[in-house]
Amino acid sequence: MISYNEMATEDFVVQGFRAAAVNSGIRGKDRLDLAMIVSDMPAVVAGVFTTSLVKAAPVLLDMERCRTGRAQAILVNSGLANACTGEEGMRLARLTTAMAADALNIAPELVQVCSTGVIGQQLELACFQRGIPRAAQALAADGLAEVASAIMTTDTVRKIAARTVLIDGKPIKLLGMAKGAGMIMPNMATMLSFILTDAKIGHDLLQSLLRKVVIKTFNAITVDGDTSTNDTVLVLANGLAEHLPLTEDRPEALSAFAAALEDLCQELALMIVKDGEGATKLVTIRVQGAASEAQADQAARAVANSNLVKTAFFGEDANWGRIIAALGRSGAQFDQHQVDIAFDEVLMVKNGLGQSAEVEARATAVLKKPEFVVTIDLHAGEGYKEIYTCDFSLDYVKINADYRS
């Protein structure tokens, strides 16, 4: 694994991709707020989008274009979400991609577009008229890291990571970036992630891989239980690496690539949780022994999203009563007299009963750590799920209540 801190500048590069970020005026005069990522040739695209019924205009447009299986550029802005903007919002989403296509001399259908920021306000066309040509001119192979900066909103750290995997003795590069920190000031909880690779792979296969990977990674994190209108994960694969194409006939090569993709997405997803608004701790909620995987998911999410559990984590209190109360209302089926709960390796609850004060003291010591695992065994079957969450601090309320005051 190459983590962000260890990455040298050359790690931010993938052959055949160029990028640039500029200030276009959407967010004042200084911040990077508009960016483009461009492949030298049409690439295979795969995308996973918000499950919310309320989808932003760029999401609707990307979903439509993703079905063609090809894309060559991503246009992204921060500051405005272009969500709840009606027909005018759709018109502007199409128009801005046409402007980008024009500047890049490619077909508009090959441009994906993402927005993040305030819901309900229309994009200002002038910013795109100003920003797009400048971004197109500035495109450079080493520009990807700047895109990761341009998409930050309440994020406190830039989220970028890379993997290299050898297939047929040839290196395949995967570079990923993400944004998201809970609720993005002032209106949105958007998570965006772009993954660029030189792998050779078809659209259907990449799409099905991405779906599976997202379930285990980006869809297994929660900061505040809210889903955004703009959540988007896009993968562009330009096929420049020298390996033989990845196909279902080559399960070993495919699973090596899938593992690298999952590992990369997992690193980005955990970066988001750690940077959760006001978060001070990264907590893994691991449910095992559920009656089904779906019930493991229900149980883990109920615990991971409980304000009472999350405030107890913030208070460094091994408050297992709140965990068992969340399990009880989760909808998962189990016998309360068979539940075990451990904080890291400290078994705090056995058969639904709390253990000694000495055990609780050791559990409390675990909660003082910046990262720990809560393992819940329901003893009701084989269902297993891990969900990644953070604690719930005073700063979360401050960030989300005070921004206009």
Give me the helices (H) in 341-393, please. Answer: 357-367
Instruction: Indicate whether 338 belongs to the interface with its own copies (CB under 8 A).
Output: no
**In angstroms, what CA-CA distances link 32 with 116, 228, 276, 311, 378?**
13, 22, 21, 34, 48
Instruction: Indicate whether 12 belongs to the interface with its own copies (CB under 8 A).
Output: no
Instruction: Indicate whether 232 belongs to the interface with its own copies (CB under 8 A).
Output: no
Instruction: Indicate whether 255 belongs to the interface with its own copies (CB under 8 A).
Output: no
Per-position x/- string for 281-320, each x denoting binding to its own copies as judged by CB under 8 A, each - no binding = -------------------------xxx--xx-xxxx-xx
Given 190, 197, 232, 389, which residue is catalytic? Answer: 190
Instruction: Indicate whether 370 belongs to the interface with its own copies (CB under 8 A).
Output: no
Give residues with Cβ within 8 angstroms of 25, minimum separation 6.
33, 124, 126, 127, 130, 131
Sequence-distant contacts of 306-315: CB under 8 A, at least 24 apart: 307/392, 310/389, 310/390, 310/391, 310/392, 311/391, 311/392, 313/281, 313/283, 313/367, 313/390, 313/391, 313/392, 314/280, 314/281, 314/391, 314/392, 314/393
Per-position x/- string for 123-162, each x denoting binding to its own copies as judged by CB under 8 A, each - no binding = ----------------------------------------
97 alpha carbon, distance to own chain's centre: 23
Q: Determine which residue in the list 114, 326, 346, 367 makes contact with its own copies, applying CB under 8 A.
A: 326
Which residue lies nearer to its own copies by CB, 104 or 299?
A: 299
Could you tell me the smallest distance in angstroms from the CB atom of residue 119 to its own copies? 3
Give me 208's structure tokens.
């099905």
Q: Which residues ranging from 15 to 54 are in contact with its own copies (CB under 8 A)?
A: 50-54
**Using CB under 8 A, which of the segments 33-41, 72-80, 227-235, 244-252 binds its own copies?**
227-235
**In angstroms, what CA-CA distances link 221 with 117, 260, 266, 287, 390?**
20, 19, 10, 14, 9
Could you tell me the smallest distance in angstroms from the CB atom of residue 369 to its own copies? 17
Pairing relation of β-strands 383-390 and 282-290? antiparallel
Is residue 234 within 8 A of residue 206, CB to CB? The reply is no
Instruction: Indicate whether 333 belongs to the interface with its own copies (CB under 8 A).
Output: yes
Give residues with Cβ within 8 angstroms of 234, minimum separation 6.
45, 46, 47, 62, 66, 71, 74, 112, 114, 193, 194, 195
Q: Which residues ranging from 174 to 203 are in contact with its own copies (CB under 8 A)?
A: 183, 186-189
Q: Determine which residue in the list 5, 337, 356, 368 makes contact with its own copies, applying CB under 8 A.
A: 337
Rg (CA), the chain: 22
Q: Which amino acid is at 202?
A: G
Instruction: Indicate whether 226 belongs to the interface with its own copies (CB under 8 A).
Output: yes
Which residue lies nearer to its own copies by CB, 73 or 332?
A: 332
Q: Is 364 a catalytic residue?
A: no
Could you tell me the smallest distance in angstroms from the CB atom of residue 40 to its own copies? 37
Is residue 241 within 8 A of residue 172, CB to CB? The reply is yes
Q: d(Cα 234, Cα 48) in Å, to the nearest integer?
A: 7
Name the nearest CA neighbour of 21 among 173, 152, 172, 121.
152
Q: d(Cα 331, Cα 311) in Å, to the nearest integer?
A: 22
Instruction: Indicate whether 368 belongs to the interface with its own copies (CB under 8 A).
Output: no
CB atoms within 10 A of CB 105: 7
Size of the site for its own copies (CB under 8 A): 68
Q: Determine which residue in the list 120, 171, 251, 370 makes contact with its own copies, applying CB under 8 A.
A: 120
Q: d(Cα 13, Cα 8) in Å, to the nearest integer?
A: 10
Instruction: Indicate whether 251 belongs to the interface with its own copies (CB under 8 A).
Output: no
**Using CB under 8 A, which of the segments 18-26, 114-122, 212-220, 367-375 binds its own copies?**
114-122
Which residue lies nearer to its own copies by CB, 133 or 225?
A: 225
Which residue lies nearer to its own copies by CB, 51 or 105?
A: 51
**Using CB under 8 A, which of the segments 12-20, 97-105, 140-148, 345-353 binds its own copies?**
345-353
Instruction: Indicate whether 118 belongs to the interface with its own copies (CB under 8 A).
Output: yes
Could you tell me the smallest distance in angstroms from the CB atom of residue 379 to its own copies? 14
Could you tell me the smallest distance in angstroms from the CB atom of residue 183 to its own copies? 5
- Residue recorded with tokens 């819901």: 119
Q: d(Cα 311, Cα 280) in Å, to the nearest integer?
A: 11
Residues that bind its own copies (CB under 8 A): 50-55, 81, 83-86, 118-121, 183, 186-189, 224-229, 306-308, 311-312, 314-317, 319-322, 324-330, 332-334, 336-337, 349, 351-354, 392-394, 396-398, 400-405
Which are the catalytic amino acids? Answer: 190
